[in-house]
Amino acid sequence: MTSLEKNLAKAETYLARFRAEGVLNHINGASIPAQSGEVFEILSPVDGKVLAHVAKGDAADIDAAARAAAAAFPAWRDLSGVERRKILNDVADAIVERAEEIAFVEAMDTGQSIRFMGKAALRGAANFRFFADKAPEARDGQTIYAPGQINMTSRRPIGPIGVITPWNTPFMLSTWKIAPALASGCTVVHKPAEFSPMTAKLLVEIAESAGLPKGVWNVVNGLGEGAGKALTEHPDIKALALVGEGRTGSMIMKQAADTLKRVHFELGGKNPVIVFEDADIERAVDAAVFMIYSLNGERCTSSSRVLIQDSIYEEFTKRVAEKADAIKVGHPLDPETVVGPLIHPIHEKKVLSYFDIAKEDGATIAAGGVKVGDEGCYVRPTLFTNATNDMRIAQEEIFGPVLTAIPFKDKEEALAIANDTEYGLAAYIWTKDLTRALWMTDRLEAGMMWVNSENVRHLPTPFGGVKNSGIGRDGGDWSFDFYMETHNVCLATGDHHIPKLGG
Ligand code: NAD
């Protein structure tokens, strides 16, 4: 038996329950179908066959979930931070115990290769552990002195939160939003992406098995325009955290306006890797390749544009093309696979369309640019060269293993190209000249920048984008800023003069 065959057999044991019962909603501790009884299909990225049927929640299911979250809120809010820390650390332990199951289900649901999904499951546990340990300090505030008064601030959880997640690495991204919400004392209604909803169901079950009270975390599946829209409009939901596309953020802002919800958006990116001629070329090539071809390039912080100083452009792109050509595209459960199938035929069609757009616009396909096989959503890792930044391949988020290489002359031109995009999520700079690196980081329009590094996430640091890449920051204490309200108490420190009105 090959490792792939062994993994396939294992995956079937984990998927059996979903094949039998479908992907149900989870409300107030109970696994239930949609009230309407309706379901929708999810397709396997591997062969396009039906993977499972999913409860098609709508406004009625969102209402039940929001009520459950509102009912559970006072007790969860009033639990001490130390008690919440214990429960959330137990959730992290339970995730680690079931990490293999999570990784296998996620790989089959999303097409992401198992080599990355094992780590994503553990990263989910790390998110829980990090915010668990911050729970006891979540309500802390400041004292602010003024003559005649001392002010004391403290924070309180805002209430039930709506969390809406995308289909790429859904397990990790869900933990990233939900762990801080729970640590702060909020309760949650989660609407997972319709293309990859399976691990959201595993996650809530794991959390309850580890001691999370019923109703604190509820999951309603469904379409964006159905369950998603209803969640954004529900009056019991006090704040809404979205990870998704910019146009979805824009719709949600409008939908949430009537109930005056606080919103937090993590949206798309067209992130530049900027490589100067003095860079460590070997490391820069490896980082550029890693940041676009890992996770199928279906990653918000992927380096989808590489800007290369013209003196090293030929050499650099040649090396990237060689590496891209050597990458194994294959079944997500094959341990050798780097690039698995894209999430869905609709998304694959979008990615493939850019191969024609690149040619029409006059770019060269230096690697890939083709679909692999007739079955499943497999595409070769692709590199476009001879590109300019005004081309659609340099401006639009392709969200696949597709890299656009653009030459530049000097740092001023590199900066102008890097900033000439609607997005501003991440940027990567490669140079040994520290002054030049700082000149760039001071001017780049990006929420997160890495110098001489790929994206290495440190949980206490802020994560988020500028321009059309998002609103708000996650990570460290920034997450609590979103999930909590700050209250101020002013104490008079003397008998100050109070104006007398009316005699
Ligand atoms: P999407 O915006 O299409 O969908 C995201 C979620 O929003 C889904 O659950 C969907 O059902 C829901 N939704 C859609 N319309 C809605 C509506 N009107 N009301 C309420 N909910 C609605 O995004 P996607 O295609 O699933 O994910 C890919 C996108 O996510 C990319 O743009 C990617 O860059 C972005 N992303 C950003 C980050 C980040 O941290 N910045 C991380 C991961 C992904």
Of 223, 245, 303, the one to substitute when testing ligand 1's pocket (max ligand atoms within 8 A of C-beta) is: 245
Does residue 234 sit within a domain? yes
Does residue 494 sit within a domain? no
For residue 57, the CA-to-ligand 1 centroid distance in Å is 17
> Looking at the 3D structure of the chain, how many domains does it have?
2
Does residue 492 sit within a domain? no
Does residue 457 sit within a domain? no
Does residue 239 sit within a domain? yes
Q: Which residues line ligand 1 (CB under 6 A)?
A: 164-168, 173, 191, 193-194, 224-225, 228-229, 232, 243-245, 248, 251-252, 255, 266-269, 300, 397, 399, 425, 465, 470
Does residue 502 sit within a domain? no
- Helix ranges restricted to H, 22-135: 59-78, 81-97, 99-110, 114-134
306 and 171 within one domain = no
For residue 358, the CA-to-ligand 1 centroid distance in Å is 25
345 and 219 within one domain = no
33 and 154 within one domain = yes
Q: Say what percent of the chain tops pLDDT 90.
A: 100
Q: Which domain CATH number covers 412?
A: 3.40.309.10
247 and 327 within one domain = no
* Residue 266: active-site member: yes
Element at 350 (helix H, strand E): helix 345-361
Q: What is the pLDDT of residues 74-125, one digit of tens each?
A: 999 999 999 999 999 999 999 999 999 999 999 999 999 999 999 999 999 9
69: which DSSP letter? H
117 and 206 within one domain = yes
Phi, psi at 230, each rounded to 5°: -60, -35
245 and 301 within one domain = no
> Cα separation of 398 and 375, whole Å?
21
Q: Which domain holds residue 12?
A: 3-139+149-267+465-487
Does residue 183 sit within a domain? yes
Q: What is the pLDDT of residues 360-391, one digit of tens each?
A: 999 999 999 999 999 999 999 999 999 999 99
Does residue 186 sit within a domain? yes
In the chain the first and final C-alpha atoms are separated, in Å, by 96
323 and 393 within one domain = yes
> Cα separation of 303 and 430, whole Å?
13
Q: Which domain CATH number covers 117?
A: 3.40.605.10
Q: What is the pLDDT of residues 161-180, one digit of tens each?
A: 999 999 999 999 999 999 99
Q: What is the pLDDT of residues 283-317, one digit of tens each?
A: 999 999 999 999 999 999 999 999 999 999 999 99
* pLDDT at residue 503 in the model: 80
